[in-house]
Amino acid sequence: MSEEKSRFVVSADWLQAELGKPDLRVLDASFYLPAQKRDADAEYTAGHIPGAIRFDQDKIADHSVPLPHTIPTPEQFAAEVGKLGIGENDRIVVYDGIGLFASPRVWWLFRVMGAKNVFVLDGGLDGWKAEGRPLGTIVQRYEPKTFTPAYDDKRVVKLEAMKAIVSGGTLQIADARSAGRFAATEPEPRAGMRSGHMPGARSLPSGVFANQGRFKSLPELKQTIESAGINLSKPVVTSCGSGITAAIITLALESLGHADNKLYDGSWSEWGSREDTPVVTGPPETVKA
């Protein structure tokens, strides 16, 4: 039981054996914060998993709003991924450089848009390279496809709904930012943002879900989430800095069979930059037995 893994995560052995299958699409969704000092596009050009398509989360986004990588409309998403040769019935495997950082966001995005067979590569590209697996430098091109979206808007939270959730205390809130940013003992990386967290939120830093880029076992995920004061029998909304690492919590929840969850897309880049949203500082409240 201790080794029981998420049904949404695939191993490098499995993926290498499946490479080249006509219904498989591998996506390089690497994304880095400035402090990480890595260039996702340059790394893709230098070497990627053979056949992988570069999926830029800042390009396939709604640019009509001043927030980073906001979820696109279903029509925009369908058009963009269709041009990449991806259909809603394809088997889609998403990876990032670190192993478990940006790939769950793209996993979540495809699922919200109606794709069913979407997975995350355990260990990411760093793990793939460390094991001496093959790399490609050819920019993969596929024939365009029609992606027919089935957008599930119930899985996405916008600002006004998030305000109501916070003011009414109607949902559990799980925050994937670092403990220091949550408690306001360290500054936000984006200028002009307040530090702290939403009233009632629980701290679940994204880094606690993996060991060396590999997703924890199901029992470990359960213990990690429950130790933060999250009740797995009740609804959850996930949040983070800009909507990327919140999806790591979502992946953990879904892996444990928790389906009643939503992701706050604007996350702290929206909440923390406004004057009409409540912010508290310090550690999360004591968990009641």
Q: Would the pLDDT of 174 be above 50?
A: yes
Is the torsion defined by CA of 18, 20, 24, 25 positive or negative? positive
Q: Would the pLDDT of 287 be above 60?
A: no
The token duo for 20 is 């080249």
Predicted confidence at residue 33, as pLDDT, reads 81
Q: Would the pLDDT of 220 be above 90?
A: yes
The token duo for 173 is 């809130």
Spatial distance between the Cα atoms of 84 and 267, rounded to a whole number of angstroms: 28
Label residue 192 by pLDDT band (50, 70, 90): confident
Catalytic residue among 29, 183, 240, 252: 240
Predicted confidence at residue 240, as pLDDT, reads 97
Establish whether 77 is a catalytic residue: no
203 three-state secondary structure: strand
Q: Would the pLDDT of 258 be above 70?
A: yes
Across the chain, mean pLDDT equals: 94
Label residue 2 by pLDDT band (50, 70, 90): very low
Predicted confidence at residue 285, as pLDDT, reads 62
Q: Which amino acid is at 160?
A: E
Q: Would the pLDDT of 89 be above 90?
A: yes
Predicted confidence at residue 47, as pLDDT, reads 96
Sheet bearing 202-203, strands edge to edge: 156-157, 261-264, 236-239, 172-175, 202-203
Query: How many residues appear in the chain?
Result: 289
% pLDDT > 90, the chain: 88
pTM for the model? 0.95
